[in-house]
Amino acid sequence: MDSYFLDWANLLLRWVHVITAIAWIGSSFYFVFLDNNLIKPNSPDLLEKGVDGAMWAVHGGGFYNPQKYMVAPKKIHTKLHWFYWEAYSAWLSGFALFTVLYLWNAGTFLIDKSLMDWSPAAAITAALGFLVAFWLIYDAVCRVFGFRENAERWVALCMLVVVAFAAWLSCQLFAGRAAFLLVGAMIATAMSANVFFWIIPGQRKVVAAMTSGVAMDPKELATHGKRGKQRSVHNTYFTLPVIFAMLSNHYSFLYTHENNWVILMVMMLAGALIRQFFVQRHGYHLGRAKNPLPFAVAGVVLLLGVIVWMRPAPSTADASVNSAPVRFAEVNAIFVQRCHSCHGEQVQMKNVRLDTSEGIKQHALGIYQQVVVTRQMPMNNATGITEAERATIKRWYEAGAALQ
């Protein structure tokens, strides 16, 4: 019964997380689009108000005229909307989902004893350490380089090295599926922390100074603006790598590969390059940026390179062996040895039982998909299923999944 309610918690939290992540990423992408498309106005009334950029847009039958002020307008006449709950909700729902699925079941989902045979408590502590350590390192790097010339290049280079090391280390310590998700979670944590610790507090100070009428040091105002802009730009480049890391846990051929950390790193780098293309694409049309196409080409080349590199080798198995019929007793022996510990009389993970012919018949398609196609089961191959046994299940199912 506990696993039944955990499945519902997993589903509902995943649903909320996807919704809030869409809202956060969507607003982030939209403001990057605005920054690259707002044009300095010529109208005296707008210039007098301090408007630095404006544009016209049409959507849903209405016309919109967003305007940007470099520091703050002299007065805000209507309600001021803050964009932060999208970020906070996305992180909170994501961490709750990570807790329910990975931390609560650390012995199953987080630990791969063939890599690191440690206690669930130790694995959980290490996983949480990844989240905290990455934020502290990233924030320190941003502070060290500040806003000096070429600072962003140095920050990007440093974080490329840090993320690569984290990807390698996580794949040495945790089950591949958890390792990929953990790398994405640590970057997403830094994104939310940027909003919580720097972007929103800086904006609040600016608004407080503006509404109180107390003069504020122009340099301090400019610093809040620069820092908020810097961290916001970093977040937009983190987005596609994080999304890939989050989605990859559904594709076992990625995280079970012997060079899984290299695959993760290259794919996240491809995502960042492709995101750079979209960021600069808007500014390029207005003559504000160089041709961004090389970034897209580089990202796609990396992606295609991974696809070609990972392609499976042609099968050299004997055709006569592959075509041999599989008796139910033969495949059932595999289920007894490899599956009953989690899907038997005592334990029915996901409400699936494979200790009866009726249960096997009901879940035959799921067995084929999870064991043969996606190769996600047994989880982390905890029961040591062999390639020959997977091939036997494949031939059994494709021949009709006989129960005799």
Alpha-helical runs (H) found in 60-107: 85-98
Phi-psi region of 60 (alpha: psi -120 to 50; beta: other; left: phi over 0): left
DSSP for 177-221, please give it: HHHHHHHHHHHHHHHHHIIIIIIHHHHHHHHHHHHH-----HHHH
Q: What is the per-residue pLDDT for 286?
A: 67
CA distance 98 to 13: 9
Rounded CA-CA distance 178/176 in Å is: 5
* Mean pLDDT on 148-173: 95
Q: Bridge-partner residues for 58, per DSSP?
A: 63
pTM of the model: 0.84
What is the pLDDT, as a whole number, of residue 323? 62
- The distance from CA 84 to its chain's CA centroid, rounded to whole angstroms, is 19
Asked whether residue 87 carries a pLDDT value surpassing 80, the answer given is yes
pLDDT beyond 60 at 320: no
Q: What is the mean pLDDT of the chain?
A: 88
Residue 196 has pLDDT above 90, yes or no: yes
Residue 280, pLDDT > 90, answer no
Q: In this model, does residue 141 exceed pLDDT 50?
A: yes
Q: Check residue 322 and give its pLDDT.
A: 58
Q: pLDDT class for 315, splitting at 50, 70, 90?
A: low
* pLDDT above 70 as % of the chain: 95
Question: Residue ranges per domain, the chain?
Answer: 85-310, 326-398
pLDDT tens for 62-80 read 999 998 887 667 777 788 8
Predicted local distance difference test score (pLDDT) of residue 246: 93
pLDDT band of residue 241 (cuts 50, 70, 90) is very high
The average pLDDT across 94-118 equals: 90
- The pLDDT of 289-298, averaged and rounded, is 90
- Whether 123 shows a pLDDT value over 70: the answer reads yes
* Count of beta carbons in the 10 Å neighbourhood of residue 23: 16
pLDDT tens-digit map of 340-399: 888 887 777 777 888 888 888 888 888 888 888 878 888 777 788 888 889 888 889 888
- d(CA 12, CA 395) in angstroms, rounded, equals 36
Structure confidence at residue 229 as a pLDDT band (50, 70, 90): confident
Helix axes 176-193, 85-98, angle to 10 degrees: 160
- Read off the pLDDT of residues 10-60 as tens digits, 9 standing for 90 and up: 889 999 999 999 999 999 889 888 888 888 888 888 888 888 899 999 998
Distance CA 236, CA 215 (A): 33
Does the bond joining 292 to the residue before it have cis omega, within 30 degrees of 0?
no
Which residues in 134-153 are b (16+ Cβ under 10 Å) and which e? bbebbbebbeebeeeeeebe
Residue type, 91: W
Residue 1 pLDDT level (bands cut at 50, 70, 90): very low
